[in-house]
Structure 1
């Protein structure tokens, strides 16, 4: 694939993200105004639950209502009680969220408690029902070992995840090619049609190209569509547009 082709694909697979504690309605509007449909439109925007309404309104105003709105739960530490997480999920769906990106209780998993992860995923999936897709953040950089990354991915799949996502983007090590390889191989071996999302640290078309090549080698070309592959990114869009303008 050429750099131009990868850039075009990357924008179509992107969850354009703003998850800063300082975010305001104006920031979300600016995020959506940064989309240039003539150069490609992202699959989704990912914002805090408080801004789901604002994102929907801003997208509609630009005739971009087909762009999905994602939000996060149990974010970023994975430490909230399950009842709070389910409450967060139901409120986000009521606000119009199309996708829920759930952080698993990864510290509990690292300490040997597999049941908590399964429960957070399966209960969140129930709460999503048919109204929202569930993307499960395993925080691969904090799990560290291949065995734990594979185990977290397996538990997410068994719990009903529609996607398994690397990271929150809020820890020292976020998406890496090494963890991506483990996650994609685990998804493939499960035999389930589950998506994958690389988040945190994918900043340029060159970065994106490496992930696309790896996914292609493990999962085939057919996997590289918005229903099964995403990038969670904030600065990637501007680099993609620079490449596409040339």
Structure 2
């Protein structure tokens, strides 16, 4: 990319990032640093994405900020204890979470238990009062089969997801353009019949402006030039912000941080 093209992609990307720290060794000090990074002289990210135990701390730090708080439930295993997941969800919203990123029970779903997956997503959806939102993580790198990814996308949307998300970032294969194409096509196919807007979130392994541009270009191609916004598209990432700031400021360097 030319420097001007790089700057344009960087400016477009900044407000689409869910700035993430889902490291196993995350501490309250790390949350302070994450919140501090979420707003810079060039603008703010869309949200921070953190573990539930840090929601109250983040809510206090962000009480005068437009940055939203996303958290994860049933993470990362996508387990089958639906009652526990629902309770975790209710507590997260009570603590101040604006967005719930639910790992669907993808192993049960892949084993043919579609109804179980539908039921868990629906029960979590019912536990989230407006205006809080639900993102459903499909774990596409584990589903592998394009037909399963397509069906999982349809199920998540039908059960009330506000976003469908590729990955946890905790497995061998996370966000890919192939999975993104399938998921975006489902969004395009179902947008009219659903009469509501559902977004897309690629997550895991997206670190450079070239990575970001590839996903944005795909979304523009499939969904139209005016579709992408923070209401419809998020990047789940930790290191991407460094690349974005470098791009806005005209530097070549890009972050090597892992998701």
The interval holding the TM-score normalised by the smaller chain is over 0.9
Query: What are the within-5 Å matches in structure 2 for residues 44-193 of structure 1?
Result: 44-60=47-63, 63=64, 65-191=65-191, 192=194, 193=197
Q: Give every structure 1 segment of 4 or more consecutive aligned residues whose post-TM-superposition deviation is greater than 4 Å.
A: none
Query: Could you tell me how far 1:129 is from its partner in structure 2?
Result: 2.1
CA contact (8 A) 1:93 1:131 kept: no
Q: Distance in 2 between matches of 1:98 and 1:36?
A: 17
Aligned residue in 2 for 1:26: 29
Query: Could you tell me how far 1:205 is from its partner in structure 2?
Result: 0.9
Q: Distance in 1 between matches of 2:111 and 2:38?
A: 42
Q: Distance in 1 between matches of 2:13 and 2:87?
A: 33
Query: Could you tell me how far 1:135 is from its partner in structure 2?
Result: 0.3
Q: Distance in 2 between matches of 1:94 and 1:131?
A: 13
- What is the TM-score with the length of structure 1 in the denominator? 0.96
More helix by share: 1
35, 38, 60: which one aligns with 2:38: 35
Aligned residue in 2 for 1:4: 7
Q: Deviations over 1:43-102 (max 9, x none)?
A: 000000110111122224xx4x21100000000000140000000000000100000000
Query: Could you tell me how far 1:154 is from its partner in structure 2?
Result: 0.3
236, 242, 259: which one aligns with 1:238: 242
Q: Distance in 1 between matches of 2:108 and 2:221?
A: 33
Query: Could you tell me how far 1:124 is from its partner in structure 2?
Result: 0.8
Query: Could you tell me how far 1:220 is from its partner in structure 2?
Result: 1.0
Structure 2 stretches lacking a partner, 5+ long: 251-259
SS in 1 for 2:38: coil
SS in 2 for 1:239: helix
- What is the TM-score with the length of structure 2 in the denominator? 0.91
Aligned pair count reads 243
Q: Distance in 2 between matches of 1:125 and 1:205?
A: 33
Aligned residue in 2 for 1:199: 203
- The farther-off stretch of 228-237 and 112-121 is 112-121
